[in-house]
Structure 1
Amino acid sequence: MRIALVTDAWTPQRNGVVRVLATLADTLGDLGHLVRVIEPSAFTTLPCPSYPEIPLALLPGRRMARMLDEFAPDAVHIATEGPLGWAGRSWCLKHHLPFTSAYHTKFPEYIHTRTGIPLDWAYGLMRRFHGPAATVLCPSPSVHRELRQKGFSNAVPWSHGVDAGLFRPGPRDFLDLPRPIFLYVGRVAVEKNLPAFLDLDLPGSKVVVGDGPARTGLMRRYPEAHFRIVNGDQELGRAYRAADVFVFPSRTDTFGLVMLEALASGVPVAAFPVTGPLDVVGGASVGVLDEDLRAAALRALTIPPEDCRRHACRFSWSRVAAEFLSHLRPFTRRARAS
């Protein structure tokens, strides 16, 4: 099958959405499908306000149409709600072709946090974007329930996976710091709620691995914490397995792939009992979910690494790809010709 994957999030951005989409594209390719990723590097872009690391395509409609016409896909999946997502959506609607979309990020909450725009307005825009989609893929059961309650009648659950070969237990010498080591990995941005982690009175060391617009300010505010940038996935894997507990302070993630990567590395999770942690950890004894994040982090120290690894290996990419394919809406030849 010829599958067009339209996304505003792609390399060199480093975040969970990019990792999910890149791994999905590779897995689909291994299964014999031809995947064309339409992403920002093919367009003129401007930096996203307040988040310059993210490029936004400028007036992408004509080029998007030309790329989709030339590729002649059998199915289109629109992964993000940015300029490319809207342009891909317009092409499908113009040609009366079905498409699927995904809800990877809680943009209404992020927009509200950054601008104060009411959540109802932002969710109204999201409903307008996703409304024509045949299905809206949700990365967790919790997000699926939330969207259905907010009027997304076409929402369906879709699991995520982890590369258990890349992220695995091993030598713990990457971080030469006093133990226990409490680790966060991910974007360093306001919506990740990092002060909830960095304000904790914990023994040992607190480490933040990642970059983002809030990094410089947090480094000044928390000089006792250790901020690191890693080079590539191999170093990232070493950083995970060097930790004693992975602390995930976000309250707005739709899933939290970094938690799975930590668990696959044999590192237990401490988090709030909210969407994301509830889906990755749930009731399994591989993490502690508590509104008292300090208590959760300290209790997680006693969790056996092998339990964490076993739990994470249940989230396979083969299952993720199979679910994705089951939700696609391929065109008929007649529809594509129109």
Structure 2
Amino acid sequence: MDILMLSDVYFPRVNGVSTSIRTYAKALVALGHRVTLVAPDYGEAFDRHATEFGEGFELVRLPARQIFFDPEDRLIRASAMRGTVRELAQRDWDVVHVHTPFRAHQIGVRVGERCNVPVVETCHTHFEEYAAHYLPWFPAGLLRALARGATRRLCHAVDHLIVPTAEMEQVLRGYGVATPSTVLPTGIDLAEFAGGDGDAFRSKHGIRQERPVLATVSRLAVEKNIEFLLRVVQRLVAEFPALLFVIAGEGPDAARLHALCIELGLEAHVRFFGNLDRRGELLDCYRAADAFVFASATETQGLVLIEALALGVPVVSTAILGTATVLRGSHGAVTAPMDEAVFAGTVAQVLRDPQLRHSLAQAGPMDARAWSNDVLIGRVVDLYAGARPAGPLHPAGAGQ
């Protein structure tokens, strides 16, 4: 198959969507399919640090500009769209797969119309929950209504939706979205999460081997709820005075979180490591932890949970929306409610009990096998092949 993918975000921008797209594309290429990915050009000002992933698929970068309220991201320039649609429409595609709902969506829908091929879109993000964090000056109720309406329009412009979890599918049905959908999680390449040297990470960064360590891997953004985890750590320090909380990731909330650490008196207990190499030191970071902690309430899936499980790191997490699906029936994780005292008590139980940590660590890789991309990618190919509806492919004006 010739597959066109489009996204408003991709490496060197590090987040779950970039990871998911790369996983999809690599796996499809490995099966013999041809993949072209269209994504923004982040420019030389962005710290690229050799993160231009190609790995067998064609990568087309489009001119883009910064977004004033989210400087990490880029918006593909409108001036680039018309020529791009014209050029892409001259090629033969079997399916168009859109991963984000902005300019990439517009380009993808228009190419699908011109080529008369099905357009599939993955709902990676629960925008109703995200919007208030990025536009705090906007009335919250109105913003939620606008996000729901925009989501309905976007979903109705495509032929089929991929939804990572049943919980997210229910959200869309609650909005009135009638587009056919398939619950299909993003898998991970388990071969990439079979190593890691926690002792080496501790040694490199001067962390004593006996020191209790918690870790999280996350974009530093308000919706990721890292403030909650910092307050949990503050509660734990009384019982575990040597406790260290390791945070891997970057994002717009970094300055506020650094300041909050000082306010909470946690300077000696929290270390920020930024974005780490996914093929090296990030694995070491995971493995250095006695437990991986996570408390985002907005995830449509939560790939980092699967990564931690695959590496045999005990997980303590809330179970909300997508994370509820990932952790349902898990034997490598313990779930806790969004309550600082209860969550802290759950983490303390894991830190106190070596046998519990051992049993969670042993079970994690078995849990992760259910999320292997080798298991899931065949369903993606079948979905592509069956995405063409019985009636007209695209509503008139859907791409406008």
TM-score norm. by structure 1 comes to 0.92
Q: Which residue of 1 aligns with 2:126?
A: 106
In 2, Cα distance between the equivalents of 1:143 and 1:58? 30
In 1, Cα distance between the equivalents of 2:31 and 2:108? 25
Amino acid at match of 2:227: P
The offset of 1:94, in angstroms, is 5.2
Q: Deviations over 1:229-252 (max 9, x none)?
A: 223421111111111111111001
Match of 1:207 among 246, 250, 254: 246
Q: Deviations over 1:212-240 (max 9, x none)?
A: 11112211221421100223421111111
Structure 2 stretches lacking a partner, 5+ long: 42-60, 394-400
Q: Which residue of 2 aligns with 1:270?
A: 316
| Number of residue pairs matched by the alignment | 334
Q: Which residue of 1 aligns with 2:147?
A: 122
In 2, Cα distance between the equivalents of 1:215 and 1:256? 20
The offset of 1:330, in angstroms, is 6.5
Q: Which residue of 1 aligns with 2:173?
A: 148
- The question of whether the paired residues in 2 share the 8 Å contact of 1:288 and 1:299 is answered with no
Amino acid at match of 1:252: T
In 2, Cα distance between the equivalents of 1:27 and 1:221? 41
Structure 1 stretches lacking a partner, 5+ long: none
Match of 2:157 among 111, 124, 132: 132
In 2, Cα distance between the equivalents of 1:141 and 1:26? 25
Q: 1:183 to 1:330 in 2, by over 3 A?
A: same
Q: 1:82 to 1:296 in 2, by over 3 A?
A: farther
Q: Which residue of 1 aligns with 2:36?
A: 36
Q: Which residue of 2 aligns with 1:233?
A: 279
In 2, Cα distance between the equivalents of 1:24 and 1:111? 27
- The question of whether the paired residues in 1 share the 8 Å contact of 2:94 and 2:117 is answered with no
Bigger shift: residues 149-158 or 93-102: 93-102
In 1, Cα distance between the equivalents of 2:132 and 2:255? 22
Q: 1:171 to 1:43 in 2, by over 3 A?
A: closer
Q: Which residue of 1 aligns with 2:345?
A: 295
- The question of whether the paired residues in 1 share the 8 Å contact of 2:89 and 2:111 is answered with no
**Which has the higher Rg, Structure 1 or Structure 2?**
2
In 1, Cα distance between the equivalents of 2:196 and 2:76? 41
Within 5 A, what are the aligned runs for 1:6-25?
A: 6-25=6-25
The offset of 1:169, in angstroms, is 5.4
In 2, Cα distance between the equivalents of 1:26 and 1:169? 20
In 2, Cα distance between the equivalents of 1:68 and 1:107? 28
Q: Which residue of 2 aligns with 1:259?
A: 305
Q: Which residue of 2 aligns with 1:158?
A: 184
Other structure's SS at 1:253 match: coil
Amino acid at match of 2:222: V
Bigger shift: residues 122-131 or 271-280: 271-280
Match of 2:261 among 222, 226, 242: 222
Q: Which residue of 1 aligns with 2:55?
A: none
Identity of paired residues, percent? 28
In 1, Cα distance between the equivalents of 2:112 and 2:163? 21
Q: Which residue of 1 aligns with 2:296?
A: 250
Other structure's SS at 1:165 match: helix
- The question of whether the paired residues in 1 share the 8 Å contact of 2:196 and 2:286 is answered with no
Amino acid at match of 2:68: P
Amino acid at match of 2:225: N
Other structure's SS at 1:156 match: strand
Match of 2:66 among 23, 37, 47: 47
Other structure's SS at 1:217 match: helix
